């Protein structure tokens, strides 16, 4: 479970790594999913952070440059932290790479 410190399961949701709209063939593929809190899901969908090949958190330049105090408090402390992955249905490395490369392309 990639919960990024959220201990309340009621705040966790299933997130797609490659967006639903972009890849019809993998919409129901459990390896195209992450378990994230609602705030992390929104940030992940907006490419504000991604994961490295070894499952560490990488923040976008946009997020790091943000003046938003809340975002700074939530995300800066987790940069480069390894995430806890599930025992079954681990995220597909190709999907993680695609997400990270998309994030990097979207940076200013």
Rounded Cα gap, residues 86 and 29, in angstroms: 15
Rounded to the nearest integer, the mean pLDDT of the chain is: 90
Please check the confidence at residue 3 and state whether its pLDDT lies above 50.
no
Q: pLDDT tens digit string along 15-54?
A: 999 998 899 999 999 999 998 988 999 999 999 999 999 9
What's the confidence (pLDDT) of residue 8?
62
What pTM, to 2 d.p., does this model score? 0.88
Q: Phi and psi at residue 21, in whole multiples of 5°?
A: -70, -20
What's the confidence (pLDDT) of residue 2?
47
Rounded Cα gap, residues 35 and 65, in angstroms: 26
């Amino acid at each position: 479970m990639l919960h990024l410190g959220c201990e309340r399961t009621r705040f966790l949701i299933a997130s797609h790594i490659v967006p639903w709209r972009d890849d019809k063939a993998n919409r129901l593929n459990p390896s195209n999913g992450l378990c994230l809190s609602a705030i992390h899901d929104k940030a992940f969908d907006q490419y504000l952070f991604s994961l490295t090949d070894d499952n560490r958190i990488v923040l976008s330049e946009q997020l790091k440059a943000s003046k938003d105090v809340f975002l700074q408090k939530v995300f800066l402390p987790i940069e480069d932290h390894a995430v806890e992955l599930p025992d079954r249905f681990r995220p597909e490395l190709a999907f993680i790479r695609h997400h990270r490369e998309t994030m990097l392309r979207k940076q200013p």
